[in-house]
Structure 1
Amino acid sequence: MHRRKLLAGAAAGAAMLASPTIGQPVRDRTLRMVPQANLTALDPIWTTASVTTGHGYAVFDTLYGLDSQLRPQPQMAEGHEVSPDGLTWRIKLREGLKFHDGERVRAADCVASLRRWSQRDSFGQTLARSVDAWEAADDRIIRIRLKTPFAPLLDAIAKPASMVAFMMPERLARTDGNTQVTEVVGSGPFRFLDKEFVSGSRVVYARFGDYVPRTEPADFMSGGKQAFFDRIEWQIIPDPSTAASALRNGEVDWWEFAHPDLLPLLTRDRNIKVSQIDELGFLSILRFNSLVPPFNNPGLRAAVLSAVDQSDYMRAVNGDNVRWRPCAAMFPCGVPFVKELGSGLMNQPRDLNRAKEAVRRAGYGGERVVVINPADFPSIAPLGEVTADLLKKLGFNVDLQQMDWGTLGQRRTSRAPVEEGGWNIFHTWTTSVSISNPALNYYIRGQGKDGWFGWYENAGIERVTNAWTQATTDAEKQAAFDEIQKEAFQTAPIVPLGQYYPATAHRAHLTGRISSTNALPWNIRRA
C-alpha cells in the first residue's frame, strides 16, 4: 500500500477492531505488541528478516552481546581466555543455563550452533575460514582453534542483527544451515508457544521461569535480560490505521514501527509516547539478482544506479514526518571509516536520457524484469513502486509482482530464471549497526552462491574484507573501506536508497524500552 493511500482508511480503522485477538482488555502481566511485519520464518539463522531476528531475541540467547558502546560483553558466557599466539579461544559458559525443554545448555550445543551460524552469516563465514576446529573441551568450555588469528572474533559472535549467533540445542543446530529449523527451543527469557502461533494473526511467548538473567543492568544487547511480563502477544495488524486505533484505544501496548503518516496523530495523544527507534537509523536498498538476466550484467546494474534519486524513495516511504538523509555510500553514513564515495555519481543532477543511453550501451535485450514487492510492508512497498516507475522510464520491460512479506521471503531464495518463478529485484532495509563494517555488510559481500540473496560474486571484495579482519591500524581499516566501496559502486550489487530514522510508539505507562532496531522484550515494564 502506498503511503498516501493510508489516511483514507483511518476513519474506518476503529470498526475493524472486532477481532477477538485484539478487542480484549490488556492484562497487567501481558504485553501486546504490533510487530513490524508478519512472522513467517521461525529460524533466525535461516533468514535475515528483521521480524525473525526480533522473534529470536525473545526465545534465544547469545554467548556475547554488544553494549551501548558496541563493545562485546559476556552474556551466556562467564568469560574467555585467549592463548598468547591468538590461535586458541576458550569461552566458559555461566552456570545454570537451561533450554526451554528442560535440558541444560552444554558447550556441545554452542559449538553446533556456532558451526551452523557460520555456514549462513557473512561475518560467520569470514570467521570460519580462520577456524581450524570448533570444539567442546567439556560441558562448559567452548574451544575455538584458529589457523590464523582473528581479532574481531567476539564482534562476530556478538553481532546484533541479521543472522545473530543465537544458541540452540545441538539436536536442532545439527540441521544444515540451508534448511529451516521449525522447532523453536532456546534458552532466552521467553518460550515460544507453538500451539498458539497463527501466522498472519498472532505470535505468543511466555516468560521462561528457569531463565537466570545476568546481574548487570541491561545495556543494549548485554546485561540482565529481566522479563517483567508473564506473556507477550504479537498481534499482526497489517493496516496502519487499524494498528494506530488499537494503540490509542489501549487494545495494544506497543506499535513497533509507527507509520509516518500517523505520527502527528499519535504524538498529540498524551497517552502515547513516540520516540526514534535508534540513533543510527536504517538504510534502504534495491537488491539485484546477479545470477540471472538481465542484471547478471554489471553494466546494467550500474546504469540503474546512475538514474536513482534517493529523495524519490525516501519521500515515498517517510513523507514529511520522519527524518531522512541522502547517503551516497555502500555503508551507513555516520559510521566510522565511511566516506560518501558515491557522491560524484549519485548526487549529480539526474539525466534520464543519459541513463537510457547507458542501458542501451550495456546491451539490454528487452528481457522481462520481475520486481517482487511486499504490499503489506509499508516501509518497503513504496520502494518497489518507485523502482518500477523508474525502470519503465529507462526502457525496461517491467513486471511488478505484489505479494505479502512472507511470500517474498520465500520467493527471494529462488535462483531460478524469472520464467520459472525467479526474480530480478527486491527492496528491503536493514539497521545501520548490522552492516557497519566490511565483514558485516552482506549487502555488498562478494560471496556468490554462498552469500546473501542476489548472490553477487566479487573475489576482490572478499580479499579486501579478509585483509580488514587482520588490520591493526586506522589507516589500514580506512583503506579497506575505501577500496570495497569503490569496487561496489563500479559493479553495483545494490543501489543505496537513503538513510532514515523511523519511530516507535507505545502506551505512555510503559518504561524501560531499550533503544534498538528490534522491539526487545526485556527491561520493558509498566510504570
Structure 2
Amino acid sequence: MKLKLAFLVATALIAAPSLLMAQEKGGVINVATIGEPPTLDPMVSTADLVGIVTQHIFETLYTFDKSWKVTPLLAESLPEISADGKTYTIKLRTGIKFHDSSDMTSEDVVASLSRWTKLASRGKQVAGFIESVAAADAATVTIKLKQPYAPLLSLLAFNNSAAIIIPAEKQDEPMKEFIGTGPYMLKERKADQYIQLARFDGYKPRSGESDGYGGARHQYLDEIRFVPVPDPNTRVEAAVSGQYDYVDSIPVESFDKIKNSQPSEPIMLKPFGFPVFVFNTKEGLSSNLAIRKAVEKALSMEDMLAAAFGSKDFYNADGAFYPKSFVWNTEVGTEGNYNLGDPEGAAADLKAAGYKGEPLRILTSRQYEFHYKMAQVAAEYLKLAGVNVDMQVVDWATLTQRRADAKLWDIYITHSPFLPEPALMGVLSTSSPGWWDTPARKAAVDPFTSEADPAKRVELWANVQKTIYDELPLLKIGDFNAVSAKSKKLEGVDPAPWPYFWNASITK
C-alpha cells in the first residue's frame, strides 16, 4: 500500500538522513523538553515525552524507516507470515546485549510481549487477537493469532505505549530497573532537573545506512541530557541564547525570532499532526453523547486554531483525520459536524439533554502552550452556550496521571502526529483514557483491523472515521505544523515527530 511517500519525504516528517562529512565523536548535548516525564517505562504511557526519552534506552522488534514503512530493529528481518495471516514467525538478531551485559533471547521477547499485552494500552488492543506467543528456539518467536490482525507489525514498531524488549527477569510492575538494549543507557535521573543517558559500549547497531528510526544507530555522543523546561517562553529564550543544543516544542510565533538568532535554527515539521479534545465516555458529564454533541456544536475550530497558531502558515482547519496527501484521507463523517461555532444552538441542545449546570472539567497544560490557548477559546464558546466550565491547568505529568482516573475529568487536551497506520491512534484502543467501547466502535474497528487487503482497508477506514464523528470519543481541532530549535553546531538530527539523538554529533 502506498502512503504517498513522496509527500512524507517532501514534508520531512522524517527527512532523509543528513549527509555529514566526518562526524565528531564525543561530547554531551542538552535537550530541553516540555517537562518531566511521568515515567521511564514506555509500555505504560502514551505520552510523547516518554517515548522521546526512552527510545534511546529501549528498543522494539520493529520500527519505522524514513518512508514510514515497518522495518526490523531487534528482529533480524520482517516476519514470515502464514498464508492465513494468523501465524507470525519472527527471527531475532543474535549477539544483542542488554545494559546489564546479559544476552537477549527469545525468552526475553516472550516475557516482554506478555507484559506489553497486560500493561500497555496498545498491547491490550492486540491482546484479544493473540492466541499465543512462544519461543520456537533461542532466536525465534512465534505469534499465533485467533484471526488476521493487519496493524500488528505497526503496533510492535510504535514507540508509544511501546512493545519494548527487556530482560525476562526484570519484568517488574511497575518497572524498577531501566535495562534495555538501546544505544544509550540510564546513568542518572534527578527529578525536575535532568535525565542523563550515557553511551552503552556494548551496543550492536544494525548494519547498513541509517534510515529514519531504522537502520544503523550511531553513538557519536558520550551523553544525552534531557532537561525539563516547562515554560514555553523560557524554551524560546533558551533557544535564542543557545543554552540548549535542542529545544522541543517551540510556540510557532517564535519561528522568525529563532531564525534570526545566532546560535540556533528552527526546525518545522509540516504538517505535523492534529490537536484533539478527548472525552471521558466512561463516567461523568461527557459520558452522555448528547452533551458531547452539544460541545461539538458550540466550538469554532477555526478560532481555536487561530488563537493557538496565529498565521495560517502553521495550521489548517480540516476535520478529516488525515490530510489530502495521505491515502487514508476521507471527508466521510465530517460534513455538518466540524467547525460549527454555534453556541446558541448548543445551548438549546444542552437543555434538551437535561444539562443542569454541572461543571465540565477540562484538563490542560501550559507546557504545550497551544493546548492552553485552545482551551481558553473553547471555554469562552462553551460559556456562551451556558456551560459551567471548570478549567484545570496542570503540568503535563499531572495531566497524564489524572486522565487515567475516569472520576477526575470530562475532557483532556492532547495532540498526535499523523501516524502511518490509523490503528495506532489511541482512541481506537478501549483501554486508552476516554475508554470508548461501544457496539458501534467494535462493528467499525474490527473489520478494519482484520482486513489484509490495503484497498479495502482504506474503504473501511472511512467507516471508522464516520463512527468517530457519530459517537464523538474525541474532537479533532485541525492540522498544525510543529516547531523546534537546534544548535547550528548539532549535526545528524533530522526532523522527526519524536526527535532522536543517536546519529547526532557536535561540530568542534
- Alignment TM-score, normalising by the size of structure 2: 0.89
How much has 1:239 moved relative to structure 2?
A: 2.6
How much has 1:271 moved relative to structure 2?
A: 3.1
Aligned match of 1:380 in 371, 376, 391?
Answer: 371
- Cα distance, 1:329–1:135 mapped onto 2, change above 3 Å: same
How much has 1:286 moved relative to structure 2?
A: 0.5
The root-mean-square deviation of aligned C-alpha atoms, in Å, is 2.2
2:152 counterpart residue number: 153
Mapped contact 2:300–2:339 kept (Cα < 8 A): no
1:459 counterpart residue number: 439
- Cα distance, 1:304–1:332 mapped onto 2, change above 3 Å: farther
Mapped contact 2:242–2:264 kept (Cα < 8 A): no
Instruction: Mark the runs of 5 or more structure 2 residues left unpaired by the alignment.
Output: 1-24
Mapped contact 1:322–1:503 kept (Cα < 8 A): no
1:297 counterpart residue number: 288
1:24 counterpart residue number: none
Q: Distance in 2 between matches of 1:382 and 1:271?
A: 29
How much has 1:118 moved relative to structure 2?
A: 2.6
Aligned match of 1:211 in 176, 199, 203?
Answer: 203
2:425 counterpart residue number: 441
For residues 190-339 of structure 1, what are the structure 2 equivalents within 5 Å?
Answer: 190-193=184-187, 196-277=188-269, 279-320=270-311, 323-331=314-322, 334-339=325-330
Q: Distance in 1 between matches of 2:425 and 2:304?
A: 21
Mapped contact 1:261–1:321 kept (Cα < 8 A): no
How much has 1:207 moved relative to structure 2?
A: 0.8
1:408 counterpart residue number: 399
3-state DSSP of counterpart to 1:281 = strand
Mapped contact 2:130–2:146 kept (Cα < 8 A): yes
Q: Which amino acid aligns with 2:424?
A: L
3-state DSSP of counterpart to 2:113 = helix
Q: Distance in 2 between matches of 1:446 and 1:77?
A: 25
2:414 counterpart residue number: 428
Aligned length: 482
2:94 counterpart residue number: 95
Mapped contact 1:112–1:174 kept (Cα < 8 A): no
- Cα distance, 1:502–1:84 mapped onto 2, change above 3 Å: closer
Q: Which amino acid aligns with 1:344?
A: E
Give yes or no for the alignment of 1:523 onto 2:507: no
How much has 1:50 moved relative to structure 2?
A: 0.4
Q: Distance in 1 between matches of 2:132 and 2:486?
A: 46
Aligned match of 1:490 in 466, 470, 475?
Answer: 470
3-state DSSP of counterpart to 2:102 = coil
How much has 1:464 moved relative to structure 2?
A: 2.6
Mapped contact 1:189–1:227 kept (Cα < 8 A): yes
Aligned match of 1:51 in 8, 31, 49?
Answer: 49
Q: Distance in 1 between matches of 2:351 and 2:202?
A: 63
Mapped contact 1:468–1:480 kept (Cα < 8 A): yes
Q: Deviations over 1:388-412 (max 9, x none)?
A: 2222111112211221111111111
3-state DSSP of counterpart to 1:167 = coil
Mean Cα displacement is larger for which, 116-125 or 265-274? 116-125
Q: Deviations over 1:296-319 (max 9, x none)?
A: 110110111122211222222222
3-state DSSP of counterpart to 2:170 = helix
Q: Which amino acid aligns with 1:430?
A: S
Q: Deviations over 1:195-249 (max 9, x none)?
A: x312222111101110011112111121011121010111222233333333333
Mapped contact 1:203–1:235 kept (Cα < 8 A): yes
Mapped contact 1:150–1:470 kept (Cα < 8 A): yes
Give yes or no for the alignment of 1:396 onto 2:390: no
Q: Which amino acid aligns with 1:187?
A: T
1:163 counterpart residue number: 161
Q: Distance in 1 between matches of 2:255 and 2:42?
A: 30
How much has 1:36 moved relative to structure 2?
A: 3.1
Give yes or no for the alignment of 1:81 onto 2:107: no
2:131 counterpart residue number: 132
Give yes or no for the alignment of 1:111 onto 2:104: no
2:34 counterpart residue number: 36
Q: Distance in 1 between matches of 2:107 and 2:165?
A: 10
Q: Which amino acid aligns with 1:207?
A: R
- Cα distance, 1:379–1:205 mapped onto 2, change above 3 Å: farther
Q: Distance in 1 between matches of 2:228 and 2:448?
A: 41
- Cα distance, 1:220–1:467 mapped onto 2, change above 3 Å: same
